[in-house]
Amino acid sequence: MRHFLKIEDFSFIELEKLVNIANEFKKVRFSDTLKNKTLITMFFNPSTRTKISFDLAVTELGGHCVTIEPGKSSWGIEIEENTIMNGDAEEHLKDAIKVISRYADFVGIRCFPKFQNWEEERKDLILKNLAKWSEIPIVNMETISHPSQALAMMQTIKNHFDTYKKKKFVMSWAYHPKGLNTAVANSASVIASIFGMDVTIANPPDYDLDPYYINLVKENCLKNGADFKMTNNMEEAYEGADFIYIKSWGSLKQIGNFQPEIQNQYKNWKVDSELMKKTNNAFISHCLPLRRNMLVTDEVLDSSNSLIYEEAENRLHIQKAILCELNDEWYGGK
C-alpha cells in the first residue's frame, strides 16, 4: 500500500503519469472507476477548493465522500503517540484512523502547522503517524506541504508550454498581512525542480523556506542541469521569467513570534503589470484563496496570462488521478 504524502516521495515518471491521467480526466469527466469507494476528508482548517474538488473527484467517479471536522463537528484529536490524554482532545489519531480504515477506502487530511514550534512541526507528525497507523491510503490535503496543489500547478504549466524543461520558474513571495503556511511554496518549488525547470525562489531576507526544501530543489536542479537561484530581489527574479508562482508565507524566523512590523516592510512585494513587463511574457498563477490588490493587482490577475482558474480546475482532475492511482496501481484495491 502506498500513501500520497509529499511530492518528493514520487519519481518524475510517477508524477508525470499523474499529470497525464489528470489530462485524460479533463476530457472524460464521469465514470464508475471508484464505484463503492469512500473517501473521508478530515479538515482541521478551512477549505473551499480542496473540499469541493476532493468531494467531486470521488463522486464523479462513482464513489462517495464524507467530510469531518475534528474539534468542530467531530471530536478533538490527539496526534502524539504514547501520551496520557489529559488535554482537550477526546480522541486519539490512532483510534480515529484505525476506525476510518474499517469504513472507508481513502482518507484525506488537512492539518496546517500552528507555526508555534517549527522544529516539531517540520516533522509533519500527523502525516507520519497517519501513514504508520492507517490501513488505507492517506492523501495529504495540506500539512507542511501541499502536493496535490503542486501537481495541479504542474499540469497547468505542462498544458501551456511545449516543453517545460529549462523554462524559468519563479517561486515568488508576496505580501500578506499574516504569517501563512509555507506548504504551497515548498511543494511547488520541489515539483518544478523535479520537472527540470530552472528554479528561482524570491523572497525578502529572513523569509527563506526550510533548508530541507531548499536543498531538495537545489539537488534536483543540479541533477537536471537546470539553474537554481535564490534572491531577495523581486525585479531580478522576474527578469526573463516564463512562469511566476505567487504565494505569501510566514518567516521561519518569526515562528511563535509573528512580527507584523517586519512583514509590513515588504508591502512593496506586490505583483503588478509593471513588474510583469520584465518577464518573458510569463504566465502567473496562485493556489487561491488570494487577497486581491494586496499580493497581486486585479489587472494582472484578470489578464490572459493569469492561470489561476485553470490551476484550480485542474485540482479536480489531479485529485481523480491521485485516487485512481492509489486505488489501482500503488494500492491494488481493497
Q: Which residues in this chain contact a copy of itself in the complex, by CB under 8 A?
A: 29-30, 36, 38, 40, 43, 46-49, 51-53, 55-56, 59-60, 64, 66, 68-70, 72-75, 78, 82-86, 89-92, 94-96, 98-100, 102-104, 177, 288-294, 298, 308-309, 312-313, 316
**Following DSSP, what letter does each residue of 163-223 receive, concatenated?**
--TT-EEEEEE---SS---SHHHHHHHHHHHHTT-EEEEE--TT-PPPHHHHHHHHHHHHH
Which of 194/312 has CB closer to a copy of itself?
312
CB of residue 197 to a copy of itself, shortest distance in Å? 25
Which of 12/309 has CB closer to a copy of itself?
309
Which of 30/212 has CB closer to a copy of itself?
30
CB of residue 30 to a copy of itself, shortest distance in Å? 5
Which of 138/312 has CB closer to a copy of itself?
312
- Please state, as a whole number, how many other Cβ atoms lie within 10 Å of the Cβ of residue 56: 16
SS3 track for 106-141: EEEEECCCCCCCHHHHCCCHHHHHHHHHCCCCEEEC
Overall residue count recorded for the chain in this entry: 334
Pull the grid cell for residue 219. Answer: 539537488
CB of residue 215 to a copy of itself, shortest distance in Å? 31
CB of residue 113 to a copy of itself, shortest distance in Å? 17
Question: CA angle, 270 as apex, 194 and 287 as ends, to 5°?
Answer: 45
Which of 64/278 has CB closer to a copy of itself?
64
Pull the grid cell for residue 136. Answer: 488505507
Residue 254 CA neighbour count, 13 Å, CB half: 18
CB of residue 50 to a copy of itself, shortest distance in Å? 10
